Structure 1
């Protein structure tokens, strides 16, 4: 079951890693933020500046505001956060898992919020006596939980983006918006305003934040959407490591392109298989094997990637023209296999270890086994 879930999450992460999701997510966040600003301004004008004398007209306009704030905006912002997740898709470790859980919470809560708010706005007021203190207990309970689930998911998603390079200096912004959208933030500001007598100071700042919270939050989503539109989609870490491992065996070992090691290997890479350290020593090992088998070719049979490690099972074939170990050249063609694990950090190979079928290779070349 665990493997099935891991494969499912890996598939979802890969599907959402497209830069297309970044663009659509950025547009959705900008649109959702602007709609939230419009709803807030409309609400203030409706009750603060131009109070309507017609109760029926006021009720209809209020329904529009509630639909925007409770249905349209959460749904559009949820789509936008899918675009934000595209930057973290495939990221290994706890942060990547938190981002996945956060996105799940956001989407699930958005569906609940949209459904319940639409019901209470469009259906409940028409058939049930309704006031701010009354309503359907079940829907209010579900809305309460969903109201906490959406910002909690946004916070987890924000934590998952803290180390993402695509956001640049704006990496803390998603986490800040998630925290600002929690009911807890509102209650903290409210408590600071209502407790204590002194004017100004912390109380004054809290009053400003309490009044400005919805507007700041919506403008923050607009800013995050703009940042996403300018961000470059980052290749998922697991897929990137697999690609680098393929280059290591197919291009460096298989074709003798030593320059590849300058691109993918760290200067202090540790080669446990040969008991040595350093990129130049790894180059000499590759050159030595290529001298023994000038026509060497690698075929990758299977790859398994988990977090920062890639395990590769390969089969190599070539003609012994330079000699294996201390034996003289045999001129025979042979095939041998190996299973190696490579660990990467920030796109660079830092450790290399495994085992190859050396006894089988010697046997196929007609050479005695190692003493």
Structure 2
């Protein structure tokens, strides 16, 4: 097992991004870690990739930030590739307490899981490919919104 001093800087940045930004543990993490020209492919904006820090911040705020509260996150796997990119798989549980995609809050605790392929340059996140690994119970909450996007 690696010691903390042996873990690369990119792995440390990835952990801080996932826990601090996506998990909400570090309010300054987004501004400090995300590059102005970040490129993100995510289901939070299924019609096109996100191409700027400002857009990414807005999308996160308007989706996860408004729809979920009382969250808990667990990093399940954190791996570095030979070219320095980092793969993170995590599971989160949160209360669906606000509207998301026109779906009113259900008041239910939901479990969702994601895998992120992150690339950092000069200490900043410049690329993030997000893959949802969500259980069916999560997907069904948003099925009416997702269906036309997937089938169109």
Same structural fold, with TM-score higher than 0.5 when normalized by the shorter chain:
yes
Looking at structure 2, the residues matched to 330 and 357 of structure 1 have their Cα atoms a distance apart, in angstroms, of 21
Point out the structure with the larger strand share: 2
1:293 to partner: Cα distance? 0.4
1:280 Cα deviation after fit = 1.5
2:65 pairs with 1:296 = no
How far off is 1:359 after superposition? 6.4
SS in 2 for 1:276: coil
Question: SS of 1:296's equivalent?
Answer: strand
Gaps of 5+ in 2: 148-152
Match of residue 315 from structure 1 = 91
Backbone CA RMSD of aligned residues:
2.4
Give the secondary-structure state (helix, strand or coil) at the position aligned to 1:255.
Answer: coil
Higher relative CO (Cα under 8 Å, sequence separation at least 6) belongs to 2
SS in 2 for 1:263: helix
Moved >6 Å (runs of 4+): none
Q: Distance in 2 between matches of 1:286 and 1:297?
A: 17
C-alpha deviation, 1:298, in angstroms: 1.8
Number of corresponding residues: 138
Q: Which runs of 5+ in 1 are unaligned?
A: 1-6, 19-235
Give the secondary structure class of the aligned counterpart of 1:342. strand
**What is the CA–CA distance in structure 1 between the aligned matches of 2:52 and 2:131, rounded to whole Å?**
19
Mapped contact 1:253–1:290 kept (Cα < 8 A): no
Out of 229, 245, 249, the position equivalent to 2:14 is 245
Corresponding residue to 1:348 among 124, 144, 152: 124
SS at match of 2:101: coil
Q: Helix, strand or coil: the match of 1:294?
A: strand
What is residue 335 of structure 1 aligned with on the other side?
Answer: 111
Match of 1:270 among 29, 32, 39: 39
Matches within 5 A, 1:171-320: 239-255=8-24, 257-273=26-42, 274=45, 275-288=49-62, 289-306=64-81, 307-320=83-96
Query: Contact conserved, 1:310 with 1:342, CA < 8 A, in 2?
Result: yes
Deviations 1:188-228 (A, max 9, x none): xxxxxxxxxxxxxxxxxxxxxxxxxxxxxxxxxxxxxxxxx
Distance 2:128 2:27 in 1: 16
1:362 to 106, 118, 139: 139
- Taking a change above 3 Å as real, the CA distance of residues 349 and 308 of structure 1, as seen in their structure-2 partners, is same
Query: 1 CA distance for matches of 2:102 and 2:135?
Result: 14
| Cα displacement (A) at 1:258 | 4.3
